[in-house]
Amino acid sequence: MVGAILAAVIVLGACGGGSDEQAASEPAEPATTSTAATSATTSATTATTAVSGTTVAEDPPAATTTTAAPEEPAEAPATTTVVETTAVPETTQATQPVAVPEGPPIPALTLELDDGTTFVTTEATRPVLYLFWAEW
Amino acid sequence: MPVVDYVAGEYAGQVDVIAVAWASTHEKTASAARGFLTSGATRWLLDEDNSIFAAFEVTYQPVGVFAVNGVEVNRWFGSIPEQELRQAFMDATA
């Protein structure tokens, strides 16, 4: 009877040692699984971030394009206005030289008049009548 | 001279009229100017050495020379009718 008990204890002892080794290796499996799950979660988060980043990245260019579009039309009307303004004076100036009279140039003289003033023949701003006469 | 000065008064501010007197004494020329140039529109000077007459190639008087923009546009010798004188003023100011 005692021998049977001892034999049973020995057998149980042998089984208990094996379960210790298994117990040591068992926690490793859940840990690995947990790590994999974490990695999967991290990858999913990264993927989500990447998608979000793409979405965010696409929006700003659209906004930039929208902002750039109004600038180009704004410059075009300004250029058109300048051309129209410049064209009018050029046409007017082209017709002015036609009025230049023909004839021999007046001698360049500085005349000291009796009233104390000076008259420069080449600086006259309006028509001039030179009247040559004598007191006798 | 009186007619020219009269028309010059009508164009005061539009035409400068300069009477260049042949060489003489200043007293005699000034006396004649006071009698002929009464409108106040004609200014005058005495050409003491006739250099101004020579520069304009005027050898006798009276002679009228119209200039516009520094260019001679009309010249007449001796006395001319008032109508022709007025036409000369109108052409110069047109």
Q: What is the DSSP string of B12-79?
A: TTT-EEEEEEPS--HHHHHHHHHHH--SS-EEEEE-TTSHHHHHTT--SS-EEEEEETTEEEEEEES-
The pLDDT score that the predictor gives to residue A54 is: 40
Q: Which site among A110, A118, A130, A136 would you substitute to test the B interface, given the most B Cβ atoms closer than 10 Å to its Cβ?
A: A130
Residue length of chain B: 94
- What does the pLDDT average to over B25-40? 92
- Residue A13 has a CB neighbour count (10 Å cut-off) of 9
Which residue ranges make up each domain of chain A? 2-96
Cβ of A129 and B70 within 8 Å?
no
Spatial distance between the Cα atoms of A118 and A116, rounded to a whole number of angstroms: 7
Query: Between A and B, how many residue pairs show a Cβ–Cβ distance under 8 A?
Result: 132
Average the pLDDT over each of A6-10, A114-118, A125-129 and give the range with the smallest value: A6-10
Strands (E), chain A: 110-112, 118-120, 128-133
Mean pLDDT across chain B, nearest whole number? Answer: 94
Q: Which ipTM was obtained for this model?
A: 0.97
- Tell me how close the Cα of B68 comes to any Cα of chain A, in angstroms: 5
* Straight-line distance from the first to the last Cα atom of chain A, in angstroms, rounded to the nearest whole number: 183
pLDDT digits (tens, 9 = 90+) for A67-116: 444 455 555 554 444 444 444 455 455 555 656 778 899 999 999 999 99
Q: How far apart are CA A71 and CA A63, in angstroms?
A: 13
Tokens of B24: 């003489």
What's residue A7's pLDDT?
Answer: 52
Q: Chain B closest CA to A94's CA: distance in Å?
A: 18
Task: State the Cα–Cα distance between residues A129 and A120, nearest whole angstrom.
Answer: 13
B42-83 pLDDT, tens per residue?
999 999 999 999 999 999 889 999 999 999 999 999 999 999
> Which one-letter amino acid corresponds to residue A54?
T
| pLDDT score at A46 | 41
Contact check, Cβ <8 Å, B15/A127: yes
**Residue A101 pLDDT:** 76
Contacts of A133 in chain B (CB under 8 A): 1, 19-22, 61-62
Q: And the tokens for B92?
A: 């110069």
Bridge partners for B72 per DSSP: B67
Would you list which residues of chain A are within 8 Å, Cβ to Cβ, of chain B?
100-107, 109, 111-115, 117, 119, 121-122, 124, 126-136
Domains in chain B (CATH in brackets) are 2-93 (3.40.30.10)
